[in-house]
C-alpha cells in the first residue's frame, strides 16, 4: 500500500512547481506534470483516506510556503503526488467570467479533492 508523502517532500515539490512555472511557463510545466504515470504497483486507486492524507500534506506544506503557493501550484503538486500513489487524479481548470477569475483543482473519481464542491459550482469547467 502506498503512503502519503511527507510535508517536507510536498514543500520541495511546491518549490519545484513554482520554479518550473517561472522557468518553463504554464504550457510546458503542465505537459510535464500531466505525463506523470500512475504507479502500477499501487493498489489504492479508490482509497479515500490516502487521497485525503496526500491533500492534507500538501495543504500544510502550502500554508508554510513563503510567498504563497496558489491553487495552480498546489493542484499540480497534488495531481502528481496522487498519480504516484496510484490514484486516477485529474487536474481541472475553471473560470468565473466577471470579474474574471481562474481556478485549478484536482478530482479523483469525479470528486474534488482539494476544494469544496459548493465553491466550484460558480466556475465554468474548461474541458480537456
Could you read off the pLDDT of 57-111 as tens digits, one per residue?
A: 999 999 999 888 899 999 999 999 999 888 889 999 999 888 898 999 999 988 8
Give CA–CA dist 43/49, Å, rounded.
13
Query: Structural domain of residue 30, as residue ranges?
Result: 7-126
Helix intervals (H) in 41-90? 48-64, 71-84
Top pLDDT among 124 and 15 is at 15
Provide the domain count of the chain: 1
Per residue in 43-55, pLDDT (tens digit) is: 445 488 899 999 9
Does any domain span residue 95? yes
Does any domain span residue 1? no
| Residue 39 binned pLDDT confidence (cut-offs 50, 70, 90) | low
pTM above 0.75, yes or no: yes
Amino acid at each position: 500500500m502506498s503512503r502519503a508523502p511527507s510535508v517536507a517532500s510536498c514543500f520541495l515539490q511546491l518549490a519545484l512547481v513554482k520554479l518550473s512555472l517561472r522557468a518553463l511557463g504554464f504550457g510546458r510545466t503542465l505537459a510535464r506534470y500531466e505525463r506523470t504515470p500512475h504507479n502500477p504497483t499501487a493498489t489504492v486507486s479508490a482509497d479515500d483516506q490516502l487521497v485525503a492524507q496526500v491533500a492534507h500534506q500538501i495543504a500544510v506544506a502550502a500554508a508554510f510556503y513563503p510567498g504563497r503557493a496558489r491553487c495552480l501550484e498546489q493542484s499540480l503538486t497534488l495531481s502528481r503526488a496522487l498519480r504516484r500513489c496510484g490514484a486516477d487524479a485529474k487536474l481541472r481548470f475553471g473560470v468565473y467570467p466577471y470579474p474574471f477569475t481562474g481556478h485549478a483543482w484536482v478530482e479523483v473519481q469525479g470528486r474534488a479533492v482539494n476544494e469544496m464542491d459548493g465553491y466550484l459550482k460558480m466556475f465554468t469547467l474548461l474541458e480537456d
